[in-house]
Amino acid sequence: MVHRQRPKLGQHFLSDARYCSRIADALDLCPGDLVIEIGPGHGAVTGLLASRVSRLVAIELDTELAAELRQKFAETPEIEIIQGDVLQTDIGEICRHHGVDRCYVVGNLPYYITSPIIHHALQFAAQVRAMGLLVQREVSDRLVAQPGSRDYGYLTVFTQLYSSARVVFQVPPGAFSPPPKVHSAFVRFDMRAGGPIVSSESEEGLLRFLKQSFAYKRKKLLNCLAPVYSRPKVEQELGRLGVPLGARAEQLSLKQFVELFLALR
């Protein structure tokens, strides 16, 4: 079969069997687990994952690829192919449908929509045990960045709110078909025990606070927050936390952000 290429969808299909096996091994899957695979493409990793668990649900946006996958895995009843947009998919509902409390999420994410997919998936952190995502290396650097580094930003703090992320291994362009112009990395996300570190009532407000804090990358945090909060109050709380008034958002840890948010509410 000739594999069609669809650069318009940002698809670079993982084709190197060695890296496919490393992905399948990376999440410590057990026979009773449920895996939700995002963007299975031609199914290079799908069968390997399904051989380790009792059920795999693959979500593929492309209608022709979804049809190809249904044909390829027609004799594999533990694999279900859903043709649809993952951003419109209720991961919690899939878990409930299959009678499990939590699942694993695995995916080779199109570069142009990586951040929205990560945001969407982490909204279901309570129903996810862990995620393994293949992303552009530049994105992986942002996901695991430390405060004060140039890669540290809103995506970093958002990810830390729900999970602990680490780069498991790098993937070269030659492992894909067609090869991308950039290197990739496989990132594992382990969800926080007990969920986010703030109450569900405060979670939405904290996310708005983080977006406001990082709204202007070159601005001081004080100036980012002053249009929304009392400037003297922000100055007071920054001082209490030992944060210089000239600090920028990328210099604060998640813990400091949470403490500042709770103090300014």
Residues 6+ apart with CB under 8 A from 19: 169, 171, 175, 186
Q: Please, are residues 36 and 94 in contact by the beta-carbon 8 Å criterion? A: yes
How many CA atoms within 13 Å lie on the side-chain side of 122? 27
What is the pLDDT, as a whole number, of residue 10? Answer: 60
Q: How far apart are CA 1 and CA 107, in angstroms?
A: 23
- Whether the CA torsion 201, 203, 204, 205 is positive or negative: it is positive
Encoded tokens for 215: 């709204």
With 50 as the cut, is the pLDDT of residue 2 above it?
no
Q: Give the model confidence (pLDDT) of 85-98 as tens digits.
A: 999 999 999 999 99
Averaged pLDDT for residues 178-203: 90
* 197 secondary structure, DSSP code: S
Q: Residue 6 — pLDDT band, cuts 50, 70, 90?
A: very low
Q: Give the model confidence (pLDDT) of 124-169 as tens digits.
A: 999 999 999 999 999 999 999 999 999 999 999 999 999 999 999 9
Sheet of 128-136: strands edge to edge? 79-83, 55-60, 34-38, 103-108, 128-136, 184-191, 163-171
Q: Give the model confidence (pLDDT) of 34-65 as tens digits.
A: 999 999 999 999 999 999 999 999 999 999 99
Name which CATH class applies to 7-191.
alpha beta
Cα-to-chain-centroid distance, residue 116: 8
Residue (of 26, 53, 32) closest to 108 by Cα position = 26
Residue (of 170, 134, 255, 239) closest to 206 by Cα position = 255
Averaged pLDDT for residues 200-210: 92
Q: What is the pTM of this model?
A: 0.93
Averaged pLDDT for residues 205-213: 96
Map out the domains of the chain as residue ranges. Answer: 7-191, 200-264
CATH code of domain 200-264: 1.10.8.100
